[in-house]
Chain A
Amino acid sequence: MKQDLPPILELKGLVKSFGALQVLKGIDFSVQPGELAFIIGPSGSGKSTLLRCCNRLEEPDGGSVTVDGIDITAPGVDINRLRQKIGMVFQSFNLYPHMTALGNVTLALRKVQGMDKATADAKGRAALERVGLTDKADAYPNQLSGGQQQRVGIARSLALEPLIVLFDEPTSALDPELVGGVLKVMRELRESGMTMVVVSHEMAFARAAADRVVFMDQGQIVEQGPPEEVFGNPKHARLREFLATLADRH
């Protein structure tokens, strides 16, 4: 992680409401190059909305989102060009069921970047290799396990060579025995220096791999810090309660 460089992602005063419900109440948050920021918090705390504002799948109502120095909420900005640099991995994978794994990974290369099929395929296969699925290039999503599907989802965002990858509860829809494979890929990605923002409940992974843990509650960042501090010495009562409910569950 490089502290002295300008942040890859910077949110300032981010506000978002759904109807009368204010989901994000002025979020200030930034991520350094190579950092893995891990967001935790109870359901409904705004974690996923925060993540989805970072590539404008949700339009923020106020504040700014800056990616690599460009304000992506500015009028006239080419969001489709910028989104290629902001990878996203979804809870329910969202693979295209009518395309093979390779087709899923290369769609944006072909349609958005205008690559010819051979170049896109070569790049797509390289991305599949990074997630350990070289042999599944021609398989359709329904022929893959949930864990394999999610790894294809990760490869789909990696193929575009993003500056940052957003993970929205990437293992929540998986059977427990399939979680490990996905976390392993994420770990390798982190070691390769990828900047990542992860919303998840995999606390063991957070302890082992996160540079910073961010606790959100009721649309605000309540506490953040290195995992050993957030987990070992939580300062806010709400964070202590949250960690206690997690401990009860296990």
Chain B
Amino acid sequence: METLLTVFFNVEIMKKVWPFLLQGLGMTVVLSLVVIPLGLAGGLGIAILSSLQRRWLNRVLIVYVDFFRAFPPLVLLIFIYFGFPFLQIDLPKFAAVALGFFLNTSSYFGEIFRAGFESIPRGQLEAARSTGLTRWQALVSVVIPQATRNVLPDLISNTLEVIKLTSLASVVALPELLNNARQAQALTYNATPVVLAALMYLLLLWPIVRLLSRLEHKSIALH
């Protein structure tokens, strides 16, 4: 019991590594705040483009979405970070990580938005077009608001996954939460920093999980 406390819940070490881990948490939050809006925008863009129903464009989109959903994000990250310099492309570490996560995340959000678009009856678009709205105006005012509402639980659920995904950035030593925790673990020969990091992840994610389950109950009640 004594050993368990010293190795995993060492208060002295917690005090010492706390600021360093908080820095890491900051980076995790910043990375999430960059990747999630970009991923949402990219996903919405994919759904809008595929709603145009151009054959060649749809093929390109299907290849994009299939490829980046099937490609393991960790491998993708390693490819971009270690592979790009060989192609004479020099990306800052943060940009490389953000790009990798964007490619992965936008393809997932794209599928979610596409399902949302498909849940809207054709008559909605027709009604809007019959009153003179352009295709774009009808999308913005009629289709997207309804589609987003229909897939909101999935969007939030995927957002949750993206925040957890950011811990992969530790592999290329981006100083986010898990990276800093692992460093602190190595320096202190003690697992306490990782436990502390786990607690921070929980605190960050738990409100989102709560929100999600409330929304899901609400949508079950509606149906």
Interface of B is mostly: helix
> How close is A114's CB to chain B, nearest CB, in angstroms?
11
Select from chain A the residue with minimum beta-carbon distance to B122. Answer: A94
Q: Are A156 and B131 in contact (CB under 8 A)?
A: yes
Instruction: Give chain B's interface residue range (CB within 8 Å of chain A).
Output: 10 to 19
State whether the Cβ of A240 lies closer than 8 Å to any Cβ in chain B.
no
A84 to B133, CA, bound (A): 9
A112 to B135, CA, bound (A): 12
> How close is A92's CB to chain B, nearest CB, in angstroms?
6
Interface centre among A84, A86, A87, A94 (most CB of B within 10 A): A94
> How close is B149's CB to chain A, nearest CB, in angstroms?
7
State whether the Cβ of B6 lies closer than 8 Å to any Cβ in chain A.
no
Q: Are B131 and A94 in contact (CB under 8 A)?
A: no
Contact A90-B131, Cβ < 8 Å, known A98-B146, A112-B137? no
A87 to B131, CA, bound (A): 7
Chain A residues whose C-beta falls within 8 Å of the C-beta of B128 in the assembled complex: 96, 107-108
State whether the Cβ of B127 lies closer than 8 Å to any Cβ in chain A.
yes
Q: Are B130 and A55 in contact (CB under 8 A)?
A: yes
A-B contact count (CB 8 A): 64
A235 to B127, CA, bound (A): 37
Choice from B121, B130, B133, B146 contacting A111 with Cβ under 8 Å: B133
Chain B residues whose C-beta falls within 8 Å of the C-beta of A55 in the assembled complex: 130
Q: Are B126 and A57 in contact (CB under 8 A)?
A: yes
Chain A residues whose C-beta falls within 8 Å of the C-beta of B133 in the assembled complex: 80, 107-108, 111-112
Chain B residues whose C-beta falls within 8 Å of the C-beta of A86 in the assembled complex: 130
Chain A residues whose C-beta falls within 8 Å of the C-beta of B126 in the assembled complex: 57, 90, 94
Which B residues, 112 to 147, have Cβ-Cβ distances below 8 Å to chain A? 121, 123-124, 126-134, 137, 141-142, 145-146
Chain A residues whose C-beta falls within 8 Å of the C-beta of B145 in the assembled complex: 98
State whether the Cβ of A2 lies closer than 8 Å to any Cβ in chain B.
no
Chain A residues whose C-beta falls within 8 Å of the C-beta of B132 in the assembled complex: 80-81, 83-84, 108, 112, 160
Choice from B121, B124, B129, B149 contacting A83 with Cβ under 8 Å: B129
A111 to B137, CA, bound (A): 7
Chain A residues whose C-beta falls within 8 Å of the C-beta of B123 in the assembled complex: 90, 92, 94
Select from chain B the residue with minimum beta-carbon distance to A80. Answer: B132
Chain B residues whose C-beta falls within 8 Å of the C-beta of A95 in the assembled complex: 127
Q: Can you list 25 A-B contacts with CB-CB less than 8 angstroms, sorted by A residue number?
A: A80-B129, A80-B134, A83-B129, A84-B132, A86-B130, A87-B130, A94-B121, A94-B127, A96-B128, A97-B146, A98-B145, A98-B149, A107-B128, A107-B131, A107-B141, A107-B142, A108-B128, A111-B137, A111-B141, A112-B131, A112-B133, A112-B137, A153-B127, A156-B131, A157-B131
A interface vs B, CB < 8 Å? 55, 57, 80-81, 83-84, 86-88, 90, 92, 94-98, 107-108, 111-112, 153, 156-157, 160
B interface vs A, CB < 8 Å? 121, 123-124, 126-134, 137, 141-142, 145-146, 149
Sample of 19 further A-B pairs with CB below 8 A, known A81-B132, A98-B146, A107-B131: A55-B130, A57-B129, A80-B132, A83-B130, A83-B132, A84-B132, A87-B130, A87-B131, A88-B130, A90-B126, A92-B121, A94-B121, A95-B127, A96-B124, A96-B142, A98-B145, A98-B149, A107-B133, A160-B132
